[in-house]
């Protein structure tokens, strides 16, 4: 699996993305910055082990990859269908959604291991949406994470089926009691899982992920200028919905209160939108090699993006605002436990691919 | 790829009974008089009325579950996939929901416990049909007497409509099943896992894959595996979910699973025989009959019918007349004594 980018261990990394925020933006964000540097400082205090985000993500990715590997019934026929599922699912990737789910479970007071089945399920759903998204009838992409896409290797029909099967496996794996460790809260666990499954289904259905893809499809090919609200609708559904599900499901499984769950939901919506704003910025500033996917595709297809609507600088300011909004939601949580979510938000803001 | 190796672990052994069946013995398929005789055998139960009333309840449930919301295009496409067109040709029998409700009611549980899952079964079924009809699969231009979803809404929208119907099924079960009372959360989770497993890589998706790989051209074992995966598993899931929601014990659930799986294959095989002999609608599954041969196909129908009745008989002593729907389904699957089409009114 590819090494993680050096993320936000030092503030020096912030400067390339956010060169010179406008005066107003500085005023608006300095308060949160101060508060959060305090959190980071606390985490780094002598009494507490310094939070090593790179190691955290590396360990989670290994554990998630193991869970994904074990979840696919590889020994069972039909072998070619399971091969296609494994090809798409185990192709590497940063495992951001599982990491968010695990971290949210910890913040809400649970053990991270409780949230591993849903964390794996979220990656399955994410992979399925990529497999279907890459199909010739959709985005028609040949390259994903630097490798040929699923339908290029296995053919279209198997790619459709592999996506459907990954979606089903996600729900099966998540709903199956035997997927979970034995030390879950026996009295409350089943009700929590039911609620979490409902959250996943809602976030990826016709009012979530699919809604974003539909409006995106309808926008592509239209010559009309796309207003900002429409662009935001697409991103909130196409990207933020699954990140929201990741965080909220982790919080539910971890036994968080309704108030905690809603604050984490707001956090997730902000970083979800942030994720896409940063994606738009990277598409115009990075090469295909750096991204592991076709760069400049948005420009080539005349797709509406934040840089196109707002300009690059305003897009960066917007990203900064979303980052501080997200961090604000973490303020009242236990600082040590919230560190992974804090660093994840920074990572999403300052990633380079 | 060695196709034969794919079948190694698939169950549903078809018992090797002496193949004595001949077409002439298989009169019921063509003789409606036999159906009338079967009806009088159980005067206390009218399958046609039971089925018809359930279809309208399930359609009402589906209608309420799928309002047209923004973005309208996807919700229109999803409704197109789930609801039949007008007229006889376009109606849907809704067999999986009927089996689910019947299994639940057999155990004495309220119909309301099973109805949301019954509707979910139709959503999952429709989702797999939408993807099965795509140009890269069967390339079916029509379904139930009108344009298939991709023909009406475009291939991209059809892929997404299927993708959205799967989660809608789970949402609907969770939001509308009376839980935790009378259906405990743990049971609801078993139902959700069962639904997801059935449409997954070892269930219906496996059937579609094997069909795609040309397994039906090979031989009896391969043909039976495709029928089992594509049709038996859905029926097994329907009966098993009904059993769980009705509070079945392990033995009862296992028996209803076997019953469901058997009747699902039986139903489809009879459909293929009817279309091959010009008695039913035209289908593309003629390869099933080519591989089995008509005589052997008719023999298998008799074996499956006997198996299904044996499973149903287990419940006779304990549940009395409530087992009658199960018996009636077996006879109906073979004899098709009445038409449901005109009963399936659109909501």
Q: What value of ipTM does the predicted structure carry? A: 0.86
- For B43, the enclosing helix (H) or strand (E) is none
Of A255-259, B21-25, B141-145, B245-249, the poorest mean pLDDT is in B21-25
The answer to whether B228 and B10 are in contact (CB under 8 A) is: yes
- Joined tokens for residue B207: 């059937």
The share of chain A scoring above pLDDT 70, in percent, equals: 82
What pLDDT was estimated at residue B1?
A: 40
Cis peptide before B141 (omega within 30 of 0): no
Whether the pLDDT of residue B26 is over 90: the answer is no
Residues B206, B229 contacting (CB under 8 angstroms):
yes
Please tell me which residue of chain A has the smallest CA distance to B204: A165
The values of phi and psi at residue B146, to 5°, are -150, 170
Query: Under DSSP, is residue B109 helix (H, G, I), strand (E, B) or coil?
Result: coil
| B7: chain A residues, CB-CB within 8 Å | 77
Residue with tokens 């609907």: B172
Q: Identify the pLDDT of residue A126.
A: 97
Kindly state whether A265 is in contact with chain B, defined as any CB-CB distance less than 8 angstroms: no
Q: Which residue is closest to A77 within chain B, CA to CA? A: B6
Average model confidence (pLDDT) for chain B? 83
Residues of B in contact with A195 (CB under 8 A): 174
What are the structure tokens assigned to B238, written together?
């329907």
Name the band, by pLDDT with cuts 50, 70 and 90, for residue A71.
very high
Q: Looking at the predicted structure, is the pLDDT value of residue A17 above 90?
A: no
The pLDDT score that the predictor gives to residue B333 is 87
HSE, side-chain direction, 13 A CA sphere, residue A210: 31
pLDDT value at residue A312: 93
Q: Write down the pTM of the prediction.
A: 0.86
- B148 has a pLDDT exceeding 70: yes
More confident residue, A349 or B88: A349
Which residue would you say has higher pLDDT here, A310 or B42? A310
Using a CB–CB cutoff of 8 Å, tell me whether B7 touches chain A. yes
User: Which among A78, A171, A201 is the nearest to B6, CB-wise?
Assistant: A78
Tokens of B233: 């598993």
CB atoms within 10 A of CB B87: 13
Give the nearest chain B residue to A137 (CA atoms).
B156
The token pair that represents A238 in the structure block:
């196409």
Cβ atoms of A251 and A261 within 8 Å: the answer is yes
Assess contact for B18 and B319: CB atoms under 8 A.
no
pLDDT value for B119: 97
Give the B window 133-192 contacts with A, CB below 8 Å.
134-137, 154-157, 159-160, 162-164, 166-168, 170-171, 174-175, 179-180, 184-186, 188-190, 192
Amino acid A18: pLDDT: 41
Distance CA A7, CA B236 (A): 50
CA atoms in the 13 A half-sphere facing the CB of B80:
24
Contact yes or no for B313/B321 (Cβ under 8 A): no
Q: Which has the higher per-residue pLDDT, B337 or B154?
A: B154
DSSP-based helix, strand, coil % in chain B, nearest 5: 70, 0, 30
Whether pLDDT at B176 is above 80: yes
Chosen from A76, A125, A205, A233 to mutate, greatest number of chain B CBs within 10 A: A205
pLDDT at B14: 44
Degrees, nearest 5: CA angle A116-A121-A122: 100
pLDDT in tens, B48-90: 899 999 999 999 999 999 999 999 999 999 999 999 765 555 5
pLDDT level of residue A27 (50, 70, 90 thresholds)? very low
Alpha-carbon separation of residue B257 from B52, B194, B242, B347 (angstroms) = 24, 11, 10, 31
Contacts of B202 in chain A (CB under 8 A): 73, 76
Report the first-to-last Cα separation within chain A, whole angstroms.
15
List pLDDT tens digits, range B216-274: 788 889 899 999 999 999 999 999 999 999 999 999 999 999 999 999 999 999 988 88
Confidence of residue B346 (pLDDT cuts 50, 70, 90): very low
> Looking at residue B307, what is its pLDDT?
95
Contact status, residue B129 vs residue A98, Cβ threshold 8 Å = no
Q: Do A164 and B162 touch (CB under 8 A)?
A: yes
pLDDT for A38 beyond 60: no
pLDDT of residue B272: 87
Mean pLDDT of B195-210: 95
Instruction: Give me the DSSP letters along A137-206.
Output: TTT--SEETTEE-HHHHH-HHHHHHHHHHHHHHHHHHHH-GGGS-TTS-TTTHHHHHHHHHHHHHHHHST
Residue A192 has pLDDT above 60, yes or no: yes
Which DSSP string corresponds to B195-221? HHHHTSTTTHHHHHHHHHTTGGGT-HH
Q: Are B132 and B150 in contact (CB under 8 A)?
A: no
Q: Is pLDDT at B21 greater than 80 in this prediction?
A: no
Peptide bond between residue B182 and the one before it cis (omega within 30 degrees of 0): yes
Quick check: B145 pLDDT over 90?
A: no
pLDDT of residue A13: 37
Tell me: pLDDT of B131 over 90: yes
**Does the beta carbon of B45 lie under 8 angstroms from any beta carbon of chain A?**
no
* B264-319 pLDDT tens trace: 999 999 988 888 776 554 445 567 888 888 999 999 999 999 999 999 999 988 88
Question: pLDDT tens across A242-277, in order?
Answer: 999 999 999 999 999 999 999 999 999 999 999 999
CB contact under 8 A, A168 and B171: no
Residue of A nearest to B73 (CA): A214
**Nearest C-alpha neighbor of A175 from the set B335, B114, B200:** B200
Percent of chain A at pLDDT above 90? 70
Q: Is the pLDDT of residue A42 over 60?
A: no
Give the max Cα distance, chain B.
59
A163 interfaces chain B, CB cutoff of 8 Å: yes
Distances (CA, A) of A341 to A13, A333, B296: 18, 11, 63
> Chain B 259-318, CB below 8 Å of chain A: which residues?
none
How far, CA to CA in Å, does A54 sit from each of A21, A57, A58, A333, B208? 27, 5, 6, 22, 42
> How confident is the prediction for chain A on average, in pLDDT?
86
Residue written as token pair 């760069």: A295
Q: Count of H helices and E strands in chain B?
A: 15, 2
């Amino acid at each position: 699996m590819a090494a993680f980018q050096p993320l936000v261990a030092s503030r020096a990394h912030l400067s390339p993305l956010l060169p010179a925020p406008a005066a107003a933006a500085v005023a608006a964000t300095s308060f949160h910055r101060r508060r959060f540097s305090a959190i980071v400082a606390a985490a780094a205090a002598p009494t507490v082990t310094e939070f090593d985000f790179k190691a955290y993500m590396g360990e989670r990715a290994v554990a998630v990859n193991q869970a994904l590997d074990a979840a696919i019934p590889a020994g069972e026929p039909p072998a070619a269908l399971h091969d296609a599922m494994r090809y798409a699912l185990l192709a590497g990737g940063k495992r951001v959604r599982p990491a968010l789910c695990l971290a949210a479970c910890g913040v809400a007071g649970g053990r991270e291991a409780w949230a591993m089945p849903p964390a794996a399920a979220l990656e399955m759903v994410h992979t399925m949406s990529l497999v279907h998204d890459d199909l010739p009838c959709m985005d028609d992409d040949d390259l994903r994470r630097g490798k040929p896409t699923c339908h290029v290797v296995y053919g279209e029909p198997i790619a459709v089926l592999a996506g459907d099967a990954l979606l089903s496996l996600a729900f099966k794996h998540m709903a199956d009691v035997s997927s979970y460790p034995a030390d879950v809260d026996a009295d409350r666990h089943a009700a929590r899982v039911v609620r979490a499954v409902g959250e996943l289904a809602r976030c990826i259905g016709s009012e979530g992920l699919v809604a974003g893809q539909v409006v995106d499809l309808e926008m592509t090919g239209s010559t009309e200028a796309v207003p900002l609200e429409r662009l935001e609708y697409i991103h909130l559904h196409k990207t933020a919905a699954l990140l929201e599900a990741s965080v909220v499901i982790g919080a539910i499984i971890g036994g968080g209160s309704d108030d905690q769950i809603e604050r984490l939901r707001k956090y997730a919506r902000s970083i979800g939108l942030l994720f896409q704003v940063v994606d738009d910025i990277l598409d115009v500033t990075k090469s295909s090699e750096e991204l592991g996917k076709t760069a400049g595709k948005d420009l080539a297809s005349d797709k509406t993006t934040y840089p196109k609507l707002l300009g690059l600088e305003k897009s960066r300011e917007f990203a900064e605002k979303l980052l501080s909004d997200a961090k604000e939601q973490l303020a009242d949580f236990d600082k040590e436990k919230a560190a992974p979510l804090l660093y994840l938000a920074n990572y999403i803001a300052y990633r380079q691919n | 790829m060695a196709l034969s190796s794919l079948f190694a672990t698939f169950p549903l052994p078809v018992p090797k009974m002496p193949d004595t069946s001949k077409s002439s013995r298989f009169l019921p398929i063509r003789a409606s008089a036999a159906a009338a005789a079967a009806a009088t055998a159980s005067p206390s139960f009218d399958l046609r009325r039971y089925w018809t009333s359930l279809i309208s309840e399930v359609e009402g449930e589906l209608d309420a579950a799928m309002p047209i919301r923004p973005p309208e295009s996807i919700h229109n496409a999803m409704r197109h996939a789930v609801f039949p067109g007008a007229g006889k040709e376009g109606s849907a029998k809704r067999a999986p929901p009927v089996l689910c409700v019947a299994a639940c009611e057999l155990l004495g549980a309220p119909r309301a416990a099973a109805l949301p899952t019954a509707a979910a079964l139709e959503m999952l079924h429709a989702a797999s049909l939408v993807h099965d009809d795509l140009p890269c699969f069967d390339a079916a231009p029509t379904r139930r007497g009108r344009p298939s979803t991709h023909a009406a809404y475009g291939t991209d929208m059809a892929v997404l409509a299927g993708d959205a119907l799967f989660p809608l099924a789970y949402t609907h079960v969770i939001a509308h099943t009376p839980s935790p009372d009378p259906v405990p959360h743990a049971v609801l989770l078993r139902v959700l896992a069962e639904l997801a497993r059935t449409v997954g890589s070892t269930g219906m998706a496996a059937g579609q894959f094997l069909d795609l790989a040309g397994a039906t051209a090979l031989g009896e074992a391969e043909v039976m595996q495709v029928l089992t995966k594509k049709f038996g598993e859905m029926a097994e899931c329907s009966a098993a979910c009904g059993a769980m929601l009705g509070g079945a014990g392990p033995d009862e659930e296992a028996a209803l699973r076997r019953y469901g799986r058997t009747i699902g294959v039986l139903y489809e095989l009879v459909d293929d025989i009817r279309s091959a002999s010009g008695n039913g609608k035209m289908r593309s599954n003629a390869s099933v009959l080519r591989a089995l041969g008509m005589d052997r196909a008719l023999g298998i129908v008799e074996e499956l019918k006997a198996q299904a009745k044996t499973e149903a008989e287990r419940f006779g002593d304990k549940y009395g007349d409530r087992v009658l729907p199960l018996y009636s389904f077996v006879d109906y699957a073979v004899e098709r004594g009445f038409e449901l089409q005109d009963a399936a009114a659109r909501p």
